[in-house]
Structure 1
Amino acid sequence: MSTSAPTNITLSAIAGIYILAQVIIVPALPDLGIIFSSDYRTIQLSVSAFSIGAAIVNLIAGPLSDRFGRRPIAISFFIIFIMSSLGSFFSENIYVFLFFRFLQATSAAGMVLARVIVGDIYKGDKATIMFGYISTIMAIGPLVGPLLGGLISDYFGSMQIFNFLTVLGFFLFVLIIVDLKETNFHRSKSMLSQIRSYPLLLSSMKFWPPTLVSAFSFSIFGIFFVGAPFVAATVYNLSPSQIGLLMALMPLGFVPGNIIVGKLVPRYSTKLLLIFGSVLLIIGPLLSLLTTNLYNHQLSFFLPMMVMAFGTGIIWPVANTAIIHSVPSLAGSASGISSALMVTTSAISSGVLGWNIENGDPILMLVSMLILVGATTLASSFFIKN
């Protein structure tokens, strides 16, 4: 087996397809409801089904890659993604469609495997810098996904989104075959022996603090993407296209954080960087609350949130490095469990906000939830061991 490292483009592509596949259908949901003769509440389950599937995939992809290797698991899961994307296009009713959307979440394996492959190849500061590069390219998904989905829906029809994902999945499959060589040369002897080792991982204080920091910091995107469109529509009376453009400010804040962290990791400890990033998670919403009380303009709400996104951009590469190196022999399991917790935390927190945001001042409720999550992230970062 080759020991050559896959390119950054390959790792970024297999990690980012999950986010793109999740958000690209959002602008098409009303039209998909018409196509499948379904109400909006039911068609929205296509997003929930994807999230549930992603949580399950996150749990199993890492351990399977520890046992059988990174490359065969990547190949297997992306075959399922291609077939399920095609199945979504040919679905004749809402139930078949929801089933295939659930299976499309196999793309989440790419995010798990990219993280653990970086851990296989790179150590210390180099791993953190690589995570920064990958996260930067991954940010393209939420940046262009909704706009791309809207354009495909408007010009070619909403169901063509799934043909697009099929073709994209095929190109990624070819990329995996050509470039993704095996990097796991210390495989676990059996799944049973691996499961027996879980107490070592789950009792490790090197694993839980960065995992909690990663999970809570990730949830700010779920909270923001649920709450901000409601604020934009009800408070500022913006159109869908205007909302889409303003939502792009979050990824634009996230990317610089990914870039600058590569300069910071040689100088500052993991704990200090995570504390700094967590403080920014709190400062962003606080600034937004202040400026919206001073100025009645949508930018007074959206622009300060870029500070929060910048903080997350610093947190993710640093926290991911700490997670995969917490118990090196269980790097795949650590990546999978932490990713599953990340997706679950985001789903729960955004769901709580979505359920209650209509019952009060939407800006205050959104900002309060973001500050609460930021404070929890900050508290978790104090338990990091350097």
Structure 2
Amino acid sequence: MTKPRIVYLDRTTPPHISTLVLVAGLAALTLNIFLPSLADMARHFGTPYAVMQLAVSAYLAGTAVLQLAIGPLSDLFGRRPVMLTCIGLLALGSVICLLAPNVTVFMIGRILQTAIVAGFVLSRAIVRDMVPADQAASMIGYVTMGMSLVPMVAPALGGVLNDAYGWQANFVVMLVYALICLVVVYRDLGETHHHRSKSVADQFRAWPELVRAPAFWGFALTCGFASGIFYAFLGGAPFIGTVIYRLTPAMLGLQFMLLALGYTLGNFISGRYASRIGIIRMIMSGNLISLAGVILALLLLLLGFDSAFAFFGPLSLVGLGNGLTLPSANAGLVSVKPHLAGSASGLGGALYVGGGAACSVLAGWLVTEETGALPVLCLMLASSLLALIFSEMIRRTQERLSLDDDT
């Protein structure tokens, strides 16, 4: 596969990497910019915090379901029209959230915002359309490194905006960002998928070809449990920060930056070295580092170091580990059956985001003022161990395939 010719803001050529970063960043911002505002939003709508938490967990569940359709739809109609439609739906959802008179209408807006999951699904598929698997891991690493700047800054920005202007300011930022993305994608995103399926039904009928491949399950479950560590953190950290450690929204946002800084560094390393080191080594290394971070935070808590920094600080290693693991695992996921890259990205994404939503809900349900951070850290520990087990499954599967090729 030759390197494609790319001209920025020319929709007759494949997109510039900055466009993919911009859209993937929008997807990340929509998830986490308002996390420090959850308590204030619950008070505004006169609803329990657990109900407001659904703005995160139900959103994740919605994105999991939607990914099942976005991948096949993009394989049928192309990446460009699906991406533009999804960004438009996000903008509409942001307007509804801003004007919502009650929590029910607000949640309807959040459901529409789930369409931006296309930013994750299609950026992976577009990269795989353009370059081979090892190069895809590096390119996805650069995309996710760039997009990780958004979740690094977003919670801190969201906390400051909340303190200055109220929670609604976060959704104004989402709307403006969405409109900018709509213009840039329209001008820059040339179609990259030129071997269209005949129908969506053909794509769904191709799923057995994916699910019969052990490598697909290895990559999907590794992504799922590696992401599950982070989603368990998302489910419990806002409560832990605001209720247990009494952080202001702005200070809570700054604590989230520790995880995002680690994630940015991990993605930089992936972008720089994945094509040289190989995706299997990157996945294994990342999962080991994530496990070390969770164990360190758990040990500090059990030894009596019960503070915000003792909880958030070591978890920067989880960000670093995910930054190493996820680009390579995603590149492997969409390379198992390259002709089904969109479907693989969508189905795999649905599996691991759905699992992430479950981890988020469970973490939010388990944590109380009496339990402290311990249940969330135990859930993160279980997820990190399972991620390591499935990454070992990938390694052994690849070794077996190599031996079969040699014979």
TM > 0.5: yes
**Given the alignment of the two structures, is residue 346 of structure 1 paired with residue 326 of structure 2, yes or no?**
no
- In 2: Cα distance, 1:50 partner to 1:345 partner: 13
Contact 1:52 1:102 in 2 (8 A): no
| d(CA) in 1 for partners of 2:212, 2:369 | 40
1:161 lines up with 2:173 in the alignment: no
Is the counterpart of residue 364 in structure 1 residue 374 in structure 2? yes
Q: CA deviation at 1:296?
A: 5.4
Pick the aligned partner of 2:331 from 313, 321, 332: 321
Confirm or deny: 8 A CA contact 2:67 2:346 kept in the other structure.
Answer: yes
Amino acid in the other structure paired with 2:310:
S
Match of residue 280, structure 2, among 226, 246, 271:
271
Kept in 2: contact 1:70–1:184 (CA 8 A): yes
Rounded to whole Å, the distance in 1 between the matches of 2:316 and 2:102 is 40
Of the structure 1 ranges 21-30 and 289-298, higher mean CA displacement relative to structure 2 is found in 289-298
**Deviation of residue 80 (structure 1)?**
1.4
Q: Which amino acid aligns with 1:138?
A: M
Does residue 378 in structure 1 map to residue 388 in structure 2? yes
Larger mean Cα displacement after TM superposition, 194-203 or 294-303: 294-303
Change in CA separation of 1:66 and 1:167 when aligned onto 2, cut-off 3 Å: same
Question: Displacement, 1:294?
Answer: 6.8
- Give the letter for the 1:204 counterpart: A
Partner of 1:204: 213
Q: For the residues of structure 1 that align with 2:47 and 2:370, how far apart are their CA atoms? A: 29
How far is the alpha carbon of 1:359 from its aligned partner?
8.4
Residue 124 of structure 1: CA displacement?
2.8
Given residue 199 of structure 1, which amino acid in structure 2 is its aligned partner?
A: P
| Shift in alpha-carbon separation, 1:7–1:212, aligned structure 2, 3 A | same
The aligned counterpart of 1:107 is 116
> Letter of the aligned partner of 1:265 in structure 2?
A
TM-superposed CA distance for 1:42, in Å, is 3.3
Cα offset for 1:46? 2.7
Shift of 1:131: 0.7
| Aligned positions of 1:54-65 closer than 5 A | 54-65=63-74
Q: How well do the aligned residues superpose, as a CA RMSD in angstroms?
A: 2.3
For residues 137-188 of structure 1, the C-alpha deviation after alignment (integer angstroms, 9 at most, x for no partner) is 2212321222222333333333343333222111100011100000000111
Aligned length: 386
Question: d(CA) in 2 for partners of 1:363 and 1:244?
Answer: 18
**Residues 269 and 236 of structure 1, relative CA distance in 2, 3 Å threshold:** same
TM-superposed CA distance for 1:37, in Å, is: 4.0
In the other structure, the counterpart of 2:139 is 130
Residues 1:302 and 2:317 are matched in the alignment: no
Deviations 1:91-113 (A, max 9, x none): 33332221111111111111111
Deviations 1:234-292 (A, max 9, x none): 66554443332222100111111111123432443332322221111211112223344
| Alignment correspondent of 1:185 | 194
Task: Name the counterpart of 2:4.
Answer: none
For 2:158, give the aligned amino acid.
G
Q: In structure 2, what is the equivalent of residue 150 of structure 1?
A: 159
Q: Give the distance between the partners of 2:197 and 2:100, measured in 1 at CA.
A: 39
Give secondary structure in 1 for the equivalent of 2:214. coil
Partner of 1:213: 222
Offset of 1:319 from its aligned partner? 0.4
The offset of 1:295, in angstroms, is 4.6
Closer, same or farther in 2 for the Cα pair 1:175/1:146, shift >3 Å? Answer: same
Judging changes above 3 Å, is the alpha-carbon distance between structure 1 residues 86 and 318 closer, same or farther for their aligned structure 2 residues?
Answer: same
**In the aligned structure 2, how far is the partner of 1:54 from the partner of 1:116?**
17
CA contact (8 A) 2:29 2:174 kept: no
After the TM superposition, which of the residue ranges 180-189 and 10-19 deviates more from structure 2?
Answer: 10-19
Structure 1 residue identity aligned to 2:392: F
Describe how 1:4-153 pairs up with structure 2 within 5 A. Answer: 4-153=13-162
Identity %: 34
Q: Which moved more, 1:122-131 or 1:144-153?
A: 144-153
Greater Cα shift, 38-47 or 278-287: 38-47
Which amino acid is the alignment partner of residue 178 of structure 1? Answer: R
User: Which range moves more in the overlay, 371-380 or 38-47?
Assistant: 38-47
Moved more, 364-373 or 308-317: 364-373
Q: Call closer, same or farther: CA 1:19–1:362 in 2, change over 3 Å.
A: same
Query: For 1:344-371, what per-residue CA distance to the aligned partner results, in whole angstroms no more than 9, with x for missing partners?
Result: 1111123223222338653433332222
**Is 2:225 the counterpart of 1:223?**
no
Shift of 1:3: 6.0
Q: Aligned-pair distance for 1:223? A: 1.2
- 243 and 375 in structure 1: CA distance in 2 versus 1, 3 angstrom threshold: same
1:194 to 168, 187, 203: 203
Q: In the aligned structure 1, how far is the partner of 2:242 from the partner of 2:48?
A: 21
Secondary structure of 1:169's match? helix
Structure 1 stretch 9-18 or stretch 267-276: which is displaced more? 267-276
Question: What is the rounded CA distance, in whole Å, between the counterparts of 1:233 and 1:160 in structure 2?
Answer: 20
Give, in angstroms, the shift of residue 117 of structure 1.
Answer: 0.2
**In structure 1, how many angstroms separate the alpha carbons of the residues matched to 2:161 and 2:379?**
34
**Contact 2:282–2:328 (8 Å) recurs in 1:** yes
1: CA distance, partners of 2:271 / 2:167: 40
Partners of 2:371 and 2:38 lie apart in 1 by 26
Distance 1:168 1:324, change over 3 A: same
CA 1:106/1:7 → structure 2, altered by over 3 Å: closer, same or farther? Answer: same
Q: Secondary structure at the match of 1:13?
A: helix
CA distance in 2, matches of 1:191, 1:30: 42
